[in-house]
Structures are given as C-alpha cells and as structure tokens.
C-alpha cells in the first residue's frame, strides 16, 4: 500500500511538473491581466491621476449602474447578440445543409466561405461603410435602379443597429457554416437509411434525425458566437462611433468610451468586468443545460 | 589563430562603435499625424530637413478619430514610440494636465527661438501660459463656409428663390439665411443644400459649434459659467436640426469630414461648413473637376465660426536626445521660410508674417478671408475632458438630429454634461 502511494505521489508530481510550464504561462497571460483589471475596477486610477490608491471599492460599479447609458448599452448588447447569433445560425445552417449535399466542388465553396472570416473586422467595416454610403455607395445605387428607395443605412437611429448586425452576420456566418458542415459530415448514415426505408420525408429526416444529432455541435457554435457578439467593438467603432445618438453604443464601446474618452480607466475596467461576468454566466448556464440534456 | 584574429577584430570594431557618440542621424523622429493635406505638404518636405540635419522623420498617417487613443496609450507607457507629437487644441487641456508633455519654454530660451511672429490667439488656443509653453502652433483650422458660386448665380434658381422667399439669392449673412438657402437648394437644385458631418463625436460637435457661435451663443460665460442652454443656443440647435433634416444629404447623421469632402467634390452639394483650408482641395481641377472654379469661401454667416488648431509637442517619456531632435524639427518646420513654402501649397498659417507675404497673397488671394476667419473664430471649451465633452455634446446633438430627443432636451443635456465634466 505504501509503495502504491509513493508511486501515485511520484506520478502526481510528474504530472504537475509537465503541466506547470503551461499553467505558469496561463497565469501570466490570462491571470495577471484579469487580476490587474479587477484591481483597476475598484481603484481610483484615471489617466489624469494614474494611482491605484485609494481603493474605492464598488464606487465605480455604482457610478456605472446609476448611468442610463450603461443600461442602454447593456440592452443594446443583448439585442444585438440575439439578432446576430440567430441570423448567423439560421443562414449558416441552411448553407451547411446545402453544402452537405455537394460532393465534388465542396472545397471551392469552403475556400470562398472562409474569405470573410479571414478578413479583419476593421477592413470589413470600412468596406461596408463605403458600400452603404447613402449618396455615393453602390448599395443605394442598385436599390434605386431597382425602383427601391434609398436607405440611410447607418445614419437612421432605427436602422443603424440592424445594418451593423447584417454586416456582422455576413462576416461571422462563414464560421458557423464551417462548424455545422463539419458536424453534419460526421453524422452517421444509418439513421437516415432506416428513415428512408420507413418512408420519412426530407423535412422529417431533418427535424427528427439531423437536428437532434447536431444539437451538441450547434450548441457549441451558438455559445462561441454569443460570446463573440457580446464583445463586439470593432464594428461600432468604425461604422458609427456608437451613434446616431446612442443607437449602436454596445457595452464594449461604452467601456472604451469611459476608459479613453472619459480618461477613467477605473470605470472602463468596471464596465469590462460587468461584460466578463455576463459572458461567464452565459457560458456556465449554457454548458449546464447542455450537460443536463446529454444526461437525459 | 585565424579565429582569434577575427574575434579580436570584431571586439575592436565593437569597442569603437560603443565609444562613438550618438549622432543626430542615429535618431529617427516618429510622429502620429492626421491624414490631411497639411501633413502631406510637410511630408513632401521631409527630405530637405533630413538633408539639412541628418535626422530622419517618419510620419504615420491615420484618420483623426483614431489618433487620441493611439497617442494616449503611448503617452502613459514608460517609453513613447512617438517622439514628436501632433497635438489637437482639443487635447491642449488634457495632455498638459496629465503631465505627458515636455515644457518647450526651456528649448525656446536655449535656442533663442522668436515667438513674436506667431499670432497670439493661436498660442493661447493651445494653452500657452506665463510660465510654460507645452504646445507650439502648427497650423490653424478655423471653420468657415464653402459654397457653390455657380448655383447662386444660376438665373433659374435666382428667380425661383425670389418667388419663394422674396429675397435675392446671395451669399448668406445670417445663419437663418444660410439654412433657408440650403433647404431651397435641396428642394430645387438637385443637390444637397449642405454636406453635413453629423456623425456623433468630433464631427458633429465641431459643426454644431459653428452654428452656436454664428447665432451669438457660447459654451462658457464669465467665470466659466455654462451658458450653452440659452435662447441663442436654442436657435442654433433648432437651425442645425432643421438643416440636418431638410437641407443636408441623406446619411448626414453618420457622415464625417471625409464623407462631406467627397460629396462636395463630386458636385452633389451646395455648401459645407468646414475647415477653411479645404478650399484648395475642392477648388482643384485635378481632384475635383466637377466643382473646381465654382467654389468660394466666406466667414460663417453670423460672423463667427469655430476656431481650432494643431500644435507640436514633445513627449516627456522619450530620451533627452530625442527631445532635442524633435525641437530641432519643430523650429525648422515653423520657420518663416518653411511656413511660406508650405503656405504656397495650401498650408493654413499660424504666423502673421505668412498671411502678409506677397508671394502667398499673389497665389491665394482668399488668404485675406482666411485671416478674417482665423481672427473671428471662437473656441470650443478647452479643459482636461474636452475630448469627452465632444462625445457628450455629439450624442445630444445627434439625438436631436435623429428625432430621439427634442432640441430643448438635447440642449439641457449638453449643458448639464458640460457642467458635470467641468466639476470633475
């Protein structure tokens, strides 16, 4: 027994030894900025008075929570994330299902689909900003030639968030297509063969076989995209600067505004922390639901 | 033996290099510059400075909206990548208050640099005090009105305007006249009456400031009391919103300076309230063939526009050698000869001797108007949170323009925002 314990102890030590470089790296790369941001969020650190002390506790959070703009930004972030992830998933799944039937030219489709994904969000935003320019942009020109009215894509408070979401969907959809296509390709053939023998129609096969079997992959895709969308910063920064008014001021842009325009790094860090907590909570809930479903 | 000789020779060369003094030509000056004509004019002259001094200068050109954050992240770091700074007047409260800039006064005294030719208002705009000079004026960007002469002279439009308003179609004298003409042009001339930069933040807060000053309004009164929410302020915002809705191009609420320049250049707008040095860009047959020869510049109707300017600064967090080299460059680029050479290419001078230079006036007679625009310009409030106030004001103005808030609510919100930031 003692010999086994010594062996197990040695094994554990070796394991920790191998894992420690990675753990140290993780602590430095992720842990330090997190702790530092946490300290900043409860400090009095501003760019004009760059000193951590005095610690002000939850004051920065209280100031933020009392601001109407913070709640507006939070609501817009939720709305934006739901719109984009829903759009990406529905369109992405549709394309992935179509691609699932393609055999010979699939790599070509995949290559084309990866192009938007490979582009930086800033370039995407700049390109779309030019395309959607109301007076000189090609989109309105095409709409006019089709007899449709010209639209103020980014200048109308009612349309700007939807336009931004559309651009985001255009770019992020490729990622959803690739993941879902890989998920579809890995599904077993047998249930489909059995369903065909039983005379199941195409939509019945999709509804009762494809969707349930694809659920784990789909869930992961949705959570990854939800996290991505919650953090969106580049698009509002380049396209609208949060405007018109506050129509596109999402939470990450709000945090940036507090930190760099308001020179209050502490309040910016507090806003970023709230964002982190929301994303973490979403991730935990989502994985808990997923685990419960897989057990059921 | 051979190896030993090579090692000895290498050590000798190394020792020589280590003992050699740092020459100026070892220093590379790096500046983050706004991508505007002024920068391009200076950039074309950089080889002359390098030839003269041996100091290499590199300009990194980007759009204005990205400059502040990029500079701040360098200025708060232990060592700034940029060792020469282009500083907007809107940051002239913030940068010195944060202690990021080296005082230029000792450099001026040491080199006997003559500040007398600099127009005093340009020095004051950038926060010059009795005890220190942290930013030296680079160029001026007071704002005025650029409009299409050909549209005003069009007989059909003149007749229609007379019929509609009972007035002659002529360059506007008041802000209300201007907005009336702008709306008329949109309805009758097949162009936008005004190319407006209504994007939230710097674009719309600068543009609105012109409307405010033209209406006789102000941000601050005596004793730094906020007086924005005044009858004049209300008139200004009402007219601004009216023009955004009924005179400006579609998409004005998301447009910035570049968008308005493109629109004006393409001949699809009657006018724009903009920086006066935009005139040579628009009145350029190569760049803007549709409107070249058809545009004119005037002071903001009402007599006062927004005043602004850029300056040169030197960061504290760079080496003394780099600071010396930066000062050498600043002296050179703001000298009379170089300023005149720049002005001949469209530079907006900050030295009075350049405005009166015969060669400059011969090439650009409208520099007389420009001098008046500079002289009558009024300033946006300059304090540590000016950049944030632009965003606060811009948000309220944008909300009013987009119909999300009434002009009363927007004006009250903007005034309250200013009070809060001044008290911060």
Phi-psi region of B172 (alpha: psi -120 to 50; beta: other; left: phi over 0): beta
B79-129 pLDDT, tens digit per residue, is 999 999 999 999 999 999 899 999 999 999 999 999 999 988 788 889 888
Mean pLDDT of B139-153: 95
Closest CA of chain A from B402, distance in Å: 6
Strand, coil or helix: B3: helix
What are the tens digits of pLDDT across the range A175-199?
999 999 999 999 999 999 999 999 9
- CB within 8 Å: A157 and B402: yes
Max Cα–Cα distance, chain B, nearest Å = 102
- Chain A closest-CA separation from residue B395 CA (Å): 5
Calculate how close chain B gets to A240, using CA atoms only, in Å: 6
Residue B295 · residue B318 · CB < 8 Å: no
Secondary structure (3-state) at B213: helix
Closest residue of chain A to B74, computed from CA coordinates:
A47
Interface mutation vs chain B, best among A135, A163, A262, most B CBs within 10 Å: A135
Q: Considering only residues 220 to 259 of chain A, which have any Cβ-Cβ distance to chain B shorter than 8 Å?
A: 239-247, 256-257
What percent of chain B has pLDDT above 70? 94
Distance between CA atoms of B77 and A261, rounded to whole angstroms?
17
Q: How far apart are CA B325 and CA B50, in angstroms?
A: 11
**Chain A CA closest to residue B399:** A245
- Confidence class of residue B4 from pLDDT cuts 50, 70 and 90? low
pLDDT tens readout for residues B189-228:
999 999 999 999 999 999 999 999 999 999 999 888 999 9
Q: Angle at Cα A41 formed by Cα A35 and Cα A54, nearest 5°? A: 105
3-state secondary structure of B160: helix
- CB pair distance less than 8 Å for B68 and A240: no
d(CA B315, CA B362): 38
Is the Cβ pair A152, B254 closer than 8 Å? yes
Q: Who among A241, A245, A260 is closest to B402 (CB)?
A: A245
How far is Cα B342 from Cα A284, in angstroms, rounded to an integer?
A: 61
Please, are residues A192 and A208 in contact by the beta-carbon 8 Å criterion?
A: no
**Gap between the Cα atoms of B146 and B132, Å rounded:** 37
Q: What count of other Cβ atoms lies within 10 Å of the Cβ of residue A8?
A: 10
pLDDT tens-place string over residues B35-71: 988 999 999 999 999 999 999 999 999 988 789 889 9
Question: Which of B254, B270, B394, B423 to probe by mutation at the A interface, max A CB count within 10 Å?
Answer: B254
CA A88 to each of CA A209, A211, A232, B116: distance values in angstroms, whole numbers, following the listed order: 22, 16, 15, 63
Interface contact A260, partner B, CB < 8 A = yes
B187 CB-near residues (< 8 Å, 6+ apart): none
Smallest Cβ distance to A244: which of B98, B253, B384? B253
Contacts of B394 in chain A (CB under 8 A): 243
Compute mean pLDDT per 10 residues along chain A, 296 residues long, and list them: 76 92 91 91 89 88 92 96 96 93 85 89 94 92 94 94 97 94 93 92 92 90 92 93 94 92 91 90 83 74
The total of other beta-carbon atoms located within 10 Å of residue A141's CB is: 14
A152 vs B251: CB contact, 8 Å cut-off?
Answer: yes
Torsion B250-B251-B256-B258 (CA) sign: negative
The token pair at A207 is: 């509804």
What contacts B372, CB < 8 A, 6 or more positions away?
A: B299
Closest CA in chain B for residue A234: B66
Contact B250 A257 (CB under 8 A): no
Closest CA to B64 of B83, B41, B89, B95: B89
Residue in A with minimal Cα distance to B70: A260
Q: How far is A127 from chain B (nearest CA, A)?
A: 14
Closest Cβ opposite residue A263 in set B94, B250, B405: B94
Query: Around B46, how many Cα atoms within 13 Å sit in the side-chain half-sphere?
Result: 16
Q: Which residues contact B106 (CB under 8 A, 6 or more apart)?
A: none
* Cα–Cα dist A259/B272, whole Å: 33
Interatomic CA distance for residues A259 and A8, integer angstroms = 50
List beta partners, residue B139.
B310
Strands B271-275 and B143-148: antiparallel
Residue B133 in 3-state DSSP? coil
What is the secondary structure of chain A as a DSSP string?
Answer: -HHHHHHHHHHHHHHHHHHHHHHHHHIIIIIHHHHHHHHHHTS---SSS---PSP-TTHHHHHHHT-HHHHHHHHHHHHHHHHHHHHHHHHHHHHHHHHHH--TTHHHHHHHHHHHHHS-HHHHHHHHHHHT-TTT-HHHHHHHHTTPPP--TTT-TTTHHHHHHHHHHHHHHHHHHHHHHHHHHTS-SHHHHHHHHTT--HHHHIIIIIHHHHHHHHHHHHHHHHHHHHT--HHHHHHTTT-STTTT--HHHHHHIIIIIS--HHHHHHHHHHHHHHHHHHHHHHHHHHHHHHH-
Judged by CB atoms closer than 8 Å, whether chains meet at B384 and A150 is answered as: no
Are B385 and B411 a contacting pair, CB within 8 Å? Answer: no
Q: CB–CB of A242 and B200 under 8 A?
A: yes
Cβ neighbours around B348 below 10 Å, total: 26
pLDDT, position B3: 46
Alpha-carbon distance of B197 to B274, in angstroms, equals 9
SS3 B267: coil
B-chain CB neighbours of A242 within 8 Å are 200, 395
**Residue B238 in contact with residue B176, Cβ under 8 Å?**
no
Average pLDDT of chain B is 91
Burial of B385 (0-12, 13-18, 19+ CB in 10 A): buried
Nearest 5°: the CA angle B304, B309, B315 is: 155
- Which pLDDT score, from 0 to 100, does residue A2 have? 65
Residue A153 to residue A235: CA distance in whole angstroms: 14
Chain B hits for A257, Cβ within 8 Å: 391
Contacts of A50 in chain B (CB under 8 A): 76
State residue B193's pLDDT score: 98
Residues of B near A (Cβ–Cβ under 8 Å) read 65, 68-69, 72, 76, 94, 97-98, 192, 198-201, 249-255, 259, 262-263, 266, 268, 384-385, 387-388, 391, 394-395, 398-399, 401-405
Average pLDDT value for chain A:
91
Give the chain A residue whose CA is nearest to the CA of B410.
A245
Distance CA A106, CA B316 (A): 58
Nearest chain B alpha carbon to A239: B254
Stretch B250-274: mean pLDDT: 95
Tens of pLDDT, residue by residue over A3-28, are: 777 888 888 899 999 999 999 999 89
| A136–B263 C-beta distance less than 8 A | yes
Task: State the pLDDT at residue B22.
Answer: 44
Which chain B residues are Cβ-neighbours of A133 within 8 angstroms? Answer: 251, 259
Q: How far is Cα A72 from Cα A296, in angstroms, rounded to an integer?
A: 39
- Report the chain A residue with the minimal C-alpha distance to residue B390: A261
Of B31-45, B63-77, B162-176, the one with minimum mean pLDDT is B63-77
Which of A134, A152, A260 is closest, CB to CB, to B69? A260
pLDDT at B20 over 80: no
Residue B356 is predicted with a pLDDT of: 86
Cβ neighbours of A236 in B, within 8 Å: none
User: What is the number of other CB atoms lying within 10 angstroms of the CB of residue A207?
Assistant: 12
Spatial CB neighbours of B90, under 8 Å, sequence gap ≥ 6 = B202, B308, B380, B382, B386, B387, B390
Q: Nearest-CA distance from B159 to chain A in Å?
A: 28
């Amino acid at each position: 027994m003692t010999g086994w314990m010594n062996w197990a102890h040695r094994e554990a030590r070796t394991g920790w030894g191998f894992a420690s470089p990675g753990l140290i790296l993780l602590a430095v790369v992720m842990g330090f900025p997190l702790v530092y941001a946490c300290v900043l969020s409860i400090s009095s650190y501003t760019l004009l008075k760059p000193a951590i002390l005095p610690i002000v506790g939850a004051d920065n959070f209280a100031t933020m929570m009392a601001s109407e703009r913070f709640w507006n930004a939070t609501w817009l972030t939720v709305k934006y994330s739901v719109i984009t992830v829903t759009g990406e998933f529905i369109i992405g799944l549709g394309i992935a299902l179509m691609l699932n039937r393609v055999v010979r030219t699939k790599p070509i489709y995949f290559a084309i689909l990866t192009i938007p994904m490979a582009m930086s969000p800033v370039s995407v935003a700049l390109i779309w900003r030019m395309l959607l320019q109301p007076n000189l942009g090609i989109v309105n020109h095409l709409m006019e030639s089709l007899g449709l009215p010209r639209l103020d894509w980014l200048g109308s408070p009612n349309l700007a968030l939807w336009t931004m979401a559309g651009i985001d969907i255009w770019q992020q959809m490729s990622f959803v297509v690739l993941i879902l296509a890989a998920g579809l390709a890995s599904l077993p053939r047998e249930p489909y063969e059995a369903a065909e023998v039983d005379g199941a129609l195409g939509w019945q096969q999709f509804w009762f076989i494809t969707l349930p079997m694809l659920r784990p992959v789909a869930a992961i895709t949705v959570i990854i995209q939800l996290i991505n969308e919650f953090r969106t910063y580049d698009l509002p920064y380049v396209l609208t600067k949060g405007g018109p008014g506050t129509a596109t001021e999402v939470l990450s842009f709000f945090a940036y505004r507090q930190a760099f325009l308001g020179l209050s790094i502490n309040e910016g860090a507090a806003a970023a922390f709230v964002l982190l907590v929301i994303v973490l909570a979403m991730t935990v809930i989502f994985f808990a639901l997923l685990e419960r479903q897989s057990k059921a | 033996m051979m190896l030993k000789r090579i090692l000895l020779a290498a050590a000798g060369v190394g020792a020589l290099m280590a003992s050699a003094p740092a020459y100026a030509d070892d220093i590379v000056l790096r500046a983050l510059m706004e991508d505007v004509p002024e920068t391009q004019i200076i950039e074309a002259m950089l080889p002359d400075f390098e030839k003269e001094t041996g100091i290499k200068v590199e300009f990194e050109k980007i759009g204005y909206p990205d400059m502040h954050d990029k500079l701040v992240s360098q200025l708060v770091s232990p060592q700034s990548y940029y060792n020469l700074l282009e500083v907007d007047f809107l940051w002239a409260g913030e940068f010195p208050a944060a202690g990021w800039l080296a005082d230029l006064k000792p450099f001026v005294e040491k080199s006997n640099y003559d500040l007398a030719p600099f127009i005093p208002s340009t020095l004051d705009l950038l926060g010059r005090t009795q005890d220190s000079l942290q930013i030296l004026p680079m160029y001026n960007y007071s704002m005025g009105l650029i409009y299409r002469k050909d549209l005003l002279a069009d007989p059909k439009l003149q007749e229609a305007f007379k019929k509609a308003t009972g007035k002659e179609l002529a360059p506007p004298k008041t802000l209300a006249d201007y907005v009336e003409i702008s709306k008329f042009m949109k309805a009758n001339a097949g162009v936008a009456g005004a190319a407006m930069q209504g994007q939230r933040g710097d674009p719309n807060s600068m543009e609105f400031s012109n409307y405010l000053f033209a209406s006789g309004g102000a941000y601050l009164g005596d004793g730094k009391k906020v007086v924005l929410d005044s009858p004049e302020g209300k008139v200004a915002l009402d007219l601004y919103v009216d023009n955004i809705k009924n005179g400006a191009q579609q998409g004005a609420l998301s447009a910035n300076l570049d968008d308005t320049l493109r629109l004006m250049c393409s001949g699809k707008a009657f006018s724009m309230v903009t920086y006066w040095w935009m005139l040579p860009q628009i009145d350029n047959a190569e760049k803007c063939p549709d409107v070249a020869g058809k545009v004119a510049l005037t002071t903001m109707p009402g007599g006062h526009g927004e005043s602004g300017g850029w300056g040169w600064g030197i960061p504290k967090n760079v080496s003394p050698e780099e600071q010396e080299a930066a000062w050498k460059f600043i002296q050179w680029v703001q000298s009379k000869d170089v300023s005149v050479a720049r002005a001949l290419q469209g530079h907006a001078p900050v030295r009075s001797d350049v405005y009166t230079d015969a060669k400059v006036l011969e090439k650009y007679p409208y520099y007389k108007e420009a001098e008046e625009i500079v002289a009558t310009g009024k300033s946006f409030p300059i304090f540590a949170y000016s950049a944030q106030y632009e965003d606060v004001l811009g948000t309220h103005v944008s909300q009013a323009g987009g119909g999300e808030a009434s002009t009363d609510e927007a004006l009250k919100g903007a005034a309250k925002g200013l009070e809060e930031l001044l008290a911060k």
